[in-house]
Amino acid sequence: MDAILLQILNGLDKGAAYALIALGLTLVFGTLGVVNFAHGAIFMLGAFCAVTFNRVLSMSTKVRDESVTLFEAFKEVPILTTKFPVVGPVILDYAVPLSLLVAIPIMLLLGFAMERGLIRHFYKRPHADQILVTFGLAIILQEIIKHYFGANPIPQSAPAAFAGSANISAYFGVGENIIYPWWRLIYLAFSVFIISCVFAFLHLTTFGMVVRAGMQDREMVGMLGINIQRRFSIVFGMAAVVAGMAGVMYTPILPPDYHMGMDFLVLSFVVVVVGGMGSLGGAVAAGFLLGILQSFASMNEVKSIIPGIDQIIIYLVAVVVLLVLPRGLLGRKGVMED
């Protein structure tokens, strides 16, 4: 029982990451009609916003290790902790969540710049051209990151208060020995919050209403005198912010490296297709569904029956869903259909 509950929790946690990235992908596709292969790179850039912010906060004085004479070995003492002994360590401890404050404007600007500077020139081009240009952009971005940060993952710590694990059994009286890392639970809650905010924004504001109308019939909205293009550019920026925030908060779970965006991108595209192209609800539902299935497929009991199922389950489910429901779980008629 404990094992099943743990895998459900793990699946929700995985699914939250997939859903957040897939949500941004679907937003961009649904509004601008662009298949954005650079979306994973935006997730990665968000993570590196946290790394950079942490490095700035951790600027240090170097205390030379005199016992080593063959090269320069030193221990770093962060200036923040020596100048501000009370507040400094706290700020350093909370560097990851604090870096959201920096990442949000940066990702918004980056999203605008990408859309205005490059992607808008490809709106009327075939999807193959869009895929090529955004994929090329993703490769350029990840090579830039590799050049400056190296290829190895760079670990980021969760705040000390959330670094350990929560005893779910003790808190909620469920199961006997369900222990789960605090930060993963926070990530799950954060994802649900962000997804809710995006849905609320699109459904409860005038801006969101116009955007949804534009997603349905762009020309009609334009004929009503609304500059839908400008709103769609804002949506692109918003999608970049969502992916960037997902990247920032994911750093204590998976030490970021230059390739992390590409690792998530493929899975997120499968999530979008399974959910239904252009369907925000579908992307979220498929994200959680595939996360849970992947988690269960990794159980030793399952793998002993079908070896290697953990590595193909997502693609297997995608095939089955598309055979039964060609538009995906919640796909709309007419999207990507000639």
Partner 1 sequence: MSNKKTPLSTWTRRDVLKASAASTAIAGAPMFFSRHAYGADFLNNPGDGKTVTLGFNVPQSGAYADEGADELRAFELAVEHLNGGGDGGMLNTMQPGNLKGNGILGKKVEYVTGDTQTKSDAARASAKRMIEKDGVVMVSGGSSSGVAIAVQGLCQEAGIIFMAGLTHSNDTTGKDKKANGFRHFFNGYMSGAALGPVLEKAYGKDRRAYHLTADYTWGWTQEQSIQASTENIGWTTEQKVLTPVGAGDFSQYITPILNSDADTLILNHYGKDMINSLTQAVQFGLRDKSVNGKDFQIIVPLYSRLMAQGAAENVKGIYGSTNWHWSLQDEGSKAFVKSFGAKFGNPPSQAAHTCYVQTLLYADAAERAGTFEPCQIAKALEGHKFDGMGNGPTEYRAEDHQCFKDVLVVKGKENPSSQFDLLEIVEVTPRAQVEYAPDHEMFAGGDLGSCNNGA
Instruction: Tell me how far apart the alpha carbons of residues 121 and 83 are, in angstroms, rounded to a whole number.
Output: 49
Among 59, 87, 109, 151, binds partner 1 (CB under 8 A): 151
CB of 164 to partner 1, least distance (A): 6
Among 3, 213, 226, 336, binds partner 1 (CB under 8 A): 3
241 contact partners, CB below 8 Å, separation of at least 6 = 104, 107, 108, 111
Contact status, residue 31 vs residue 42, Cβ threshold 8 Å = no
- Contacting partner 1 within 166-225 (CB under 8 A): 177, 179-181, 183-184
CB of 307 to partner 1, least distance (A): 9
CB of 38 to partner 1, least distance (A): 19
In this structure, how many other beta carbons lie within 10 angstroms of the beta carbon of residue 165? 14
Among 23, 100, 260, 289, binds partner 1 (CB under 8 A): 260
Residues 277-306 as x/- pattern, contact with partner 1 by CB under 8 A = -----------------xx--xxx--x---
Instruction: Encode burial over 283-305: b for 16+ CB neighbours within 10 A, e otherwise.
Output: bbbbbbbbbbbbbbbbbeeeeee
Contact status, residue 328 vs residue 52, Cβ threshold 8 Å = no
CB of 118 to partner 1, least distance (A): 24
Instruction: Encode burial over 101-133: b for 16+ CB neighbours within 10 A, e otherwise.
Output: eebbebbbebbeebbeeebbebeeeeeeebeeb
Stretch that binds partner 1, among 47-55, 116-124, 147-155, 228-236 (CB under 8 A): 147-155
Nearest to 31 by CA among 120, 143, 132: 120
Per DSSP, helices labelled H in the chain are 2-32, 39-57, 79-83, 87-93, 95-117, 127-149, 168-172, 182-204, 206-216, 218-223, 228-250, 260-275, 280-297, 300-305, 309-324
Instruction: Tell me how far apart the alpha carbons of residues 288 and 171 are, in angstroms, rounded to a whole number.
Output: 24
Looking at the Cβ atoms of 152 and 205, the one nearer to partner 1 is 152
Residues 62-101 as x/- pattern, contact with partner 1 by CB under 8 A = ---x-xx-xxxxxxx-------------------------
Among 90, 213, 234, 253, binds partner 1 (CB under 8 A): 253
CB of 304 to partner 1, least distance (A): 10
Stretch that binds partner 1, among 29-37, 84-92, 145-153, 269-277 (CB under 8 A): 145-153
Instruction: Tell me how far apart the alpha carbons of residues 318 and 275 are, in angstroms, rounded to a whole number.
Output: 9
Using CB under 8 A as the binding rule, whether residue 123 contacts partner 1 is answered as: no
Place of tokens 């497929």: 297
CB of 255 to partner 1, least distance (A): 6
What is the binding site for partner 1 (CB under 8 A)? 2-3, 6-7, 10-11, 13-14, 65, 67-68, 70-76, 146, 150-155, 157-158, 163-165, 177, 179-181, 183-184, 252-255, 257, 259-260, 263, 294-295, 298-300, 303, 310-311
